Amino acid sequence: MKCWKPVLLAAVLALSGAAPAAAARAGAPVPTVPDCAWEPLGYQTSNVAYPDTNARYWLLRYTVRKGLAIRLDGRFPDARYASVATYDARRSSFPGPDGTPSALTDHQLLPDRGSGNPYRRPARPGGKFTVTVTDTPAGRPNALPLAPAGTPEGAEGTVVYRIYLPHGKFRLPKVTFVQDGHRVRVGTCADALSPGSPAAGTPSGPPSPAGEGTPPPPAFSRSGGAGLYPNPDNAYLSAGFDAPPAGQVLVVRGKAPTATAGDHARPWPAGNAQVRYWSMCDNLWWGPGEVVANPLPDGGVDPGCRADFDTRLSPAGTYTYAVGTEEQRAVVERVPGVTFLPLSSATPTARHLLILRNMVAAPGFAEAIQRVPAGSDTARTAEVMGPYYPEAAYCGLSVLAESGPEACPGF
């Protein structure tokens, strides 16, 4: 697939038999467009940039030109969350020349006339919206900046469309490039909606040191994800860790925020929900940012993420994860209140990376990851998050199974 390869509008028109709009003036520059729109990205396809296994991502690459506008005609999906965001050539979020944020969350989108937005007030999904990516977004509804101030023409930009936990079928936005009266529709990539086959982790980097006893427990701190298409609606804690020694698992405990439920579109803010969504994911430390995706004997896949809806909670609202091998899974899942999180089957002794996500924190949630100042160390992160900060310790599997996580050293 060559979704990002630029081709001139004239070539597209020649193939389609279409002609430029009558408003296009002679000799005016025409936009450079990709071969197709919405290149799929995620653990079921390329598995890079630490994807959440409950999300689906699509990329629309473009070349920055003065006066270029990209029109996205979409429909609100029936899903827990959706957003549209633009990224600069470094694959990072940015403010536009006038300070306009480079992301629009579902509940921020104004619906087209005659349609409703189910993320703003009760309405049926499927209503229409229009987003414009432009170099003059100031004061325009549903507008995203094309590039940061000072970006030279010819630089690469990217639109990312995200959906978390979709319910049923959905449509990707239709894409039209517009410049100086020239308009061209860009067709959707043939494999854009293909579910694909989850990509299992591959050997990546050296194994963790062996024969040196139990390593020190990992500590979480806030990370930003710059250069990896970070979702501005997410805030992340991360902690690298060495694979547990034989017979042990890594135990992680903390208080869970309350989240919106299910996989349907609902108005936000929502009742007592502190976040829209949260998850804990295990990833490979080395390489392009792969999330764990282990093939199972029955042909299925054990993804390396556990989200709010598939995490066991105690009566007090706390979670306990046990990170271990697939061979340890059955024992872990028999421990009341403990949720299994897999190490990579391909490289179980390699260094791994845990990522905790908080998505769209409610204004009153003072302990959200979003409230941790960027660049904070572990102590400051723990101070801000209080009981919501995840504590980690290595623990013998037999100790966990016989006496529960409270018996693990460090808890």
| Average pLDDT score over the chain | 89
What pTM does this model have? 0.89
| Rounded percentage of the chain residues whose pLDDT exceeds 70 | 88
Q: Has residue 403 got a pLDDT over 80?
A: yes
Residues 232-253: what's their mean pLDDT?
A: 95
Residues 296-324: what's their mean pLDDT?
A: 96
Other CB atoms within a 10 A radius of the CB of residue 183 amount to 18
Residues 270-283: what's their mean pLDDT?
A: 96
d(CA 215, CA 250): 11
Q: Has residue 386 got a pLDDT over 60?
A: yes
Q: Has residue 343 got a pLDDT over 50?
A: yes
Task: Note the pLDDT of residue 223.
Answer: 81
Domains of the chain: 6-186 (2.60.120.1600), 221-407 (no CATH)
Task: Note the pLDDT of residue 23.
Answer: 43
Which range among 30-34, 176-180, 254-258, 378-382 shows the weakest confidence by mean pLDDT? 30-34
Q: What are the pLDDT digits (tens) for 102-114?
A: 999 999 999 999 9
Q: What are the pLDDT digits (tens) for 187-226?
A: 999 999 887 666 554 555 555 554 457 889 999 999 876 6
d(CA 402, CA 400): 6
Task: Note the pLDDT of residue 138.
Answer: 85
d(CA 358, CA 335): 26
